[in-house]
A and B are shown apart, each in its own frame.
Chain A
Amino acid sequence: MSEQILLVSQLLQQTCVFLVIAWLLSKTPLFTPLMQVTIRLPHKLTCYVAFSAFCILGTYLGLKVGESIANIRAIGAVLGGLLGGPSVGLAVGLTGGLHRYSLGGPTDLACMISTIAEGLLGGLIHRALIRRGRVDLLFQPLLVGVVALAAEILQMLIILAVTRPYATAFAVVDSVALPMLTANSIGAAMFMRLLLDRRAMLEKYSNAFSAHALRIAARTEGLLRAGFNEANSLKVARIIYEETGVGAVAITDRDKLLAFTGTGADHHLPGTLIASPHTLEAIRDNRVVHADGNEVAYTCSIHPECRLGSTLVIPLQDADDQVIGTIKLYEPKGRLFARLNRTLGEGIARLLSRQILTGRIDAQRALLAQSEIKLLHAQVNPHFLFNALNTINAVIRLDPDRARGLVQHLSTFFRKNLKRPEETVTLADEIDHVNAYLQIELARFGERLKVDIDLPYIYAQVRLPAFSLQPLVENAIKHGTAHLLGTGHIRLFAEPGKQADTLLVHVEDNAGLFTARQASDGMGMGLVDKRLKARFGPGFGLLVASETERYTRITLTLPLSEETAHASPAG
């Protein structure tokens, strides 16, 4: 009996060696597919190779007892089956079994058969649990231990059944049963424990990493979008400094330091030209440069007493992968970069690059919008000018005084056109513009055009972007009433909106040709809508109501300022 206990303890020692090897291997990527239930073929293959190796290792780490071996082969076979399914279990069992068979001895055949049976047992339990939807149980060390125990009992029975003479079989089982049952169950359970720990650690790691990255992303959101300059860069650098806990953070453009925060901020001053060979290299070669202070030496290029001992320089890139600057993470002497910082650093660089890019697109878009308006202005349109001149030309002959008046209106119209498009103006101002325009058109169309303007004086000071109203009135004539055989009627009127503190200004014609009009071209109406929404928010802008051949009504929704909103319309 004492001999048996000795054997148990010896085999447990061997199991420890086995587990140490497993622990070392768990640090390698080889283990990643083993940490979950494997479904895809490459994973199954890795699973097979790894557990076959453990199976064979289990044989070699066994103890010679007489002519047989007290071994821990079952750990590999059972785990292979449990994690890989019946096919992997069978394959692992077969590999481990054939290997055992090649070593010979009285129990070689029985051992081979039993190893295959063990692998298969693991596989069948895998399948049964998957079918019941209890994948979680597969990772329970206790269950794994119980399965290994069952597998070993199965092995003992097979040895007794297969090995002849029976006396030899009995002698073998008698001496190895206890140590093998113990060592294999405990070993298999601990192997699973090890896998679980490894998985938990990885998850914790990546959780912490994602949390960091997400916090940085959230806090820096939109900062560089507003412009890649010193002020914004400093804000971003501070956030990254706080979130990552590195020694210092710097942001540069291609030539100079834009922002620096952390250790050494006293001599790393924004505006300094880039002197660091690492930064220059990162910009020149468009790649990450890591001067860790060990393999790649790092000394501050500005101050000999600088306490910074290592740096990671990551290029910031624009849409064409051209370098537009760098972000630098520093650690003081005596502290080493964790690998985490490098990946995170690259992530941050990507994030900032994206922001800078978006900022540039925004700026371009704004520019485009402005030039659109300029274009619209330039087009104010030669046809109108021709018509105006022809009209005035005719009126000079008939009524020189009236002609003088028209020239005044034309002059007013063009003076109002000189307003800058980004200005806001008062409604009264816009009406002056519209009126100058309408006076010319009224003369031109004579009896064919009637205009009613009804805007309560109280709204005169309501502000709106310049050029919001005149284009709408021009459209109503050019694409509306000008196409009528009968009299065209333009109405311009205002009323309080349903929403509190809003004002509706309507431009209505009696042509009702809106659909045809829309198809012809943009008319600048879209632009008016966009500009109102950009200035006042989504609740404002243009609305169109139209009934074919009856009317088209364009409605401007504008915000009312406090004092205008509460004054009485009668005033």
Chain B
Amino acid sequence: MQALLVDDEPLARAELRALLAAHPDVTIAAEAGNAIEGMQLINRLNPDVIFLDIQMPKITGIELVSMFDPEHMPRIVFVTAFDEHAIRAFDAHAFDYLLKPVEPERLARTLARLRRAQSSAVPDYRPLIELQPLQQLPCHGHNRIVLLPLADVESVTARLSGIYLVDTSGNEHFTELTLKTLEERTPLLRCHRQHLVNPQAIAEIRLVDGGGAELLTRHGRCVPVSRRFLKPLKDALGV
């Protein structure tokens, strides 16, 4: 079982690492010190299970769950010391969680459960996602991370090199989030196989020859609309 540890406290990771060492079928693929690093590693390594802390800087564990690609939802074991709110939600939906300090017996039981469940479907984490909807989108710059507020996103473009958020000033920001995640977890609307648009940013819809259309944003930029997505887009906008 490939595991990923995401916790901002190095000692907490060290402790869990030590406890997991007693289970030879579990290998720790990587460790992350915050949710943003965590997301990159998850996308890259596609682990079987993530041990996820909740209280972390900038983006909490719960927010991180809503950033996962819904089509490649990993299995999650939440690890927390005292988040009552979240613990109620875990109990209510029978999500796996561990309380810090982690008891070895409890960890063993959780791992046993995970082994049995390997082949079955990943639980539906949507109740958690609703607990803390996405408000800001992490973007990776050269050597810094920008958290772009959703309201500042005008459109999203998929290229070969990855997914880019276009902000209201026209700047592009590379993000680890997939189009699918953005489409499902935010109010952004799909208008093209490769494009999403923020409905708040649309100024004009221009129909073009061949059944497609073109969106003009409030800041004067064009976003293409393909024939296939024109009808759903119009329905969503109520026009």
Chain B residues whose CB sits within 8 angstroms of the CB of A485 once the complex forms: 34, 36, 57-58, 145
Q: Which of chain A's residues has its CB closest to B33's CB? A: A448
CB of B11 within 8 A of CB of A391, answer: yes
Chain A residues whose CB sits within 8 angstroms of the CB of B58 once the complex forms: 483, 485
Q: How far is the CA of A382 from the CA of B81 in the complex (A)?
A: 10
The residue in A383, A394, A445, A447 that gathers the most chain B C-beta atoms within 10 A of its C-beta is A394
Q: How far is the CA of A389 from the CA of B8 in the complex (A)?
A: 16
**Which chain B residues in 201-229 approach chain A with CB under 8 Å?**
none
- Residue pairs across A and B with CB atoms within 8 Å: the count is 52
Q: Which of chain B's residues has its CB closest to A395's CB? A: B11
The residue in A383, A391, A395 that gathers the most chain B C-beta atoms within 10 A of its C-beta is A391
Q: Mark B8-26, 1 if CB is under 8 A from A, else 0.
A: 1111101100100000000
Q: How far is the CA of A268 from the CA of B131 in the complex (A)?
A: 74
Does chain B have a CB within 8 A of A393?
A: yes
CB of B15 within 8 A of CB of A483, answer: no
Does chain A have a CB within 8 A of B162?
A: no
Q: Mark A441-477, 1 if CB is under 8 A from B, else 0.
A: 0011111100000000000000000000000000000
CB of B8 within 8 A of CB of A394, answer: no
Does chain A have a CB within 8 A of B101?
A: yes
The residue in A383, A389, A390 that gathers the most chain B C-beta atoms within 10 A of its C-beta is A390
CB of B101 within 8 A of CB of A390, answer: yes
**Which chain A residues in 373-420 approach chain B with CB under 8 Å?**
382-383, 386-387, 389-391, 393-395, 397-398
Task: Give, as a whole number of angstroms, the nearest-CB distance from A203 to chain B.
Answer: 71
Q: How far is the CA of A75 from the CA of B95 in the complex (A)?
A: 104
CB of A445 within 8 A of CB of B57, answer: no
- Out of A446, A482, A483, A484, which one reaches B11, CB within 8 Å? A446
Chain B residues whose CB sits within 8 angstroms of the CB of A444 once the complex forms: 9, 11
A residues contacting the other copy or chain, number (CB 8 A): 22
Chain B residues whose CB sits within 8 angstroms of the CB of A390 once the complex forms: 9, 11-12, 15, 81, 100-101
Q: Mark A474-493, 1 if CB is under 8 A from B, else 0.
A: 00000000111100000000
Q: How far is the CA of A421 from the CA of B18 in the complex (A)?
A: 42
CB of B57 within 8 A of CB of A391, answer: no
Q: Mark A43-73, 1 if CB is under 8 A from B, else 0.
A: 0000000000000000000000000000000
CB of B11 within 8 A of CB of A394, answer: yes
CB of B145 within 8 A of CB of A443, answer: no
CB of A382 within 8 A of CB of B34, answer: no
Task: Give, as a whole number of angstroms, the nearest-CB distance from B107 to chain A.
Answer: 14
Q: How far is the CA of A383 from the CA of B12 in the complex (A)?
A: 15
Chain B residues whose CB sits within 8 angstroms of the CB of A395 once the complex forms: 11
Assuming the contacts A393-B15, A485-B34, asked whether A387 and B81 have C-beta atoms less than 8 A apart, the reply is yes
CB of B57 within 8 A of CB of A389, answer: no
CB of B81 within 8 A of CB of A484, answer: no
Task: Give, as a whole number of angstroms, the nearest-CB distance from B35 to chain A.
Answer: 9
- Out of A382, A397, A445, A484, which one reaches B9, CB within 8 Å? A445
Q: How far is the CA of A397 from the CA of B17 in the complex (A)?
A: 11
CB of A483 within 8 A of CB of B57, answer: yes
- Out of B10, B15, B145, which one reaches A397, CB within 8 Å? B15
Chain B residues whose CB sits within 8 angstroms of the CB of A446 once the complex forms: 9-11
CB of A394 within 8 A of CB of B57, answer: no
CB of B100 within 8 A of CB of A443, answer: no
CB of A394 within 8 A of CB of B36, answer: no
Assuming the contacts A389-B101, A446-B9, A447-B10, asked whether A397 and B18 have C-beta atoms less than 8 A apart, the reply is yes
Q: Mark B104-139, 1 if CB is under 8 A from A, else 0.
A: 000000000000000000000000000000000000
Chain B residues whose CB sits within 8 angstroms of the CB of A386 once the complex forms: 81-82, 100
**Which chain B residues in 27-61 approach chain A with CB under 8 Å?**
33-34, 36, 57-58
Chain A residues whose CB sits within 8 angstroms of the CB of B9 once the complex forms: 387, 390-391, 444-446
Q: How far is the CA of A386 from the CA of B79 in the complex (A)?
A: 13
The residue in B11, B12, B57 that gathers the most chain A C-beta atoms within 10 A of its C-beta is B11
CB of A394 within 8 A of CB of B14, answer: yes
Assuming the contacts A383-B81, A386-B82, asked whether A398 and B145 have C-beta atoms less than 8 A apart, the reply is no
Task: Give, as a whole number of angstroms, the nearest-CB distance from B22 to chain A.
Answer: 12
The residue in A387, A444, A485 that gathers the most chain B C-beta atoms within 10 A of its C-beta is A485
Chain B residues whose CB sits within 8 angstroms of the CB of A382 once the complex forms: 82
CB of A448 within 8 A of CB of B12, answer: no
Assuming the contacts A485-B57, A485-B145, asked whether A394 and B82 have C-beta atoms less than 8 A apart, the reply is no
Q: How far is the CA of A398 from the CA of B8 in the complex (A)?
A: 18
Q: How far is the CA of A394 from the CA of B100 in the complex (A)?
A: 10
**Which chain B residues in 55-74 approach chain A with CB under 8 Å?**
57-58
Chain A residues whose CB sits within 8 angstroms of the CB of B14 once the complex forms: 394, 397-398
Q: Mark A331-371, 1 if CB is under 8 A from B, else 0.
A: 00000000000000000000000000000000000000000
- Out of A393, A398, A445, which one reaches B101, CB within 8 Å? A393
Q: How far is the CA of A112 from the CA of B197 in the complex (A)?
A: 99
Chain B residues whose CB sits within 8 angstroms of the CB of A387 once the complex forms: 9, 81
Task: Give, as a whole number of angstroms, the nearest-CB distance from A195 to chain B.
Answer: 78
Task: Give, as a whole number of angstroms, the nearest-CB distance from B32 to chain A.
Answer: 11
Q: How far is the CA of A395 from the CA of B11 in the complex (A)?
A: 7
Chain A residues whose CB sits within 8 angstroms of the CB of B10 once the complex forms: 446-448
Q: How far is the CA of A390 from the CA of B33 in the complex (A)?
A: 17
Task: Give, as a whole number of angstroms, the nearest-CB distance from B226 to chain A.
Answer: 38
Q: How far is the CA of A387 from the CA of B54 in the complex (A)?
A: 13
Task: Give, as a whole number of angstroms, the nearest-CB distance from A473 to chain B.
Answer: 18
Q: Which of chain A's residues has its CB closest to B10's CB? A: A446
CB of A482 within 8 A of CB of B12, answer: no
Q: Which of chain A's residues has its CB closest to B8's CB? A: A448
Q: Mark A420-455, 1 if CB is under 8 A from B, else 0.
A: 000000000000000000000001111110000000
Task: Give, as a whole number of angstroms, the nearest-CB distance from A474 to chain B.
Answer: 16
CB of A383 within 8 A of CB of B82, answer: yes
Chain A residues whose CB sits within 8 angstroms of the CB of B57 once the complex forms: 482-485
Chain B residues whose CB sits within 8 angstroms of the CB of A393 once the complex forms: 15, 101
- Interface residues of chain A, those whose CB is within 8 Å of chain B, are 382-383, 386-387, 389-391, 393-395, 397-398, 443-448, 482-485
Which 3 A-B residue pairs are closest in the complex by CB-CB distance?
A: A394-B15, A394-B11, A446-B10
Contacts A397-B15, A483-B58 known; 11 new A-B pairs at CB < 8 A = A382-B82, A386-B82, A391-B9, A391-B11, A398-B14, A445-B9, A446-B9, A446-B11, A448-B10, A482-B57, A485-B57
- Interface residues of chain B, those whose CB is within 8 Å of chain A, are 8-12, 14-15, 18, 33-34, 36, 57-58, 81-82, 100-101, 145
Jot down 5 A-B pairs with beta carbons below 8 A, ordered by A: A383-B81, A390-B100, A393-B15, A483-B58, A484-B57
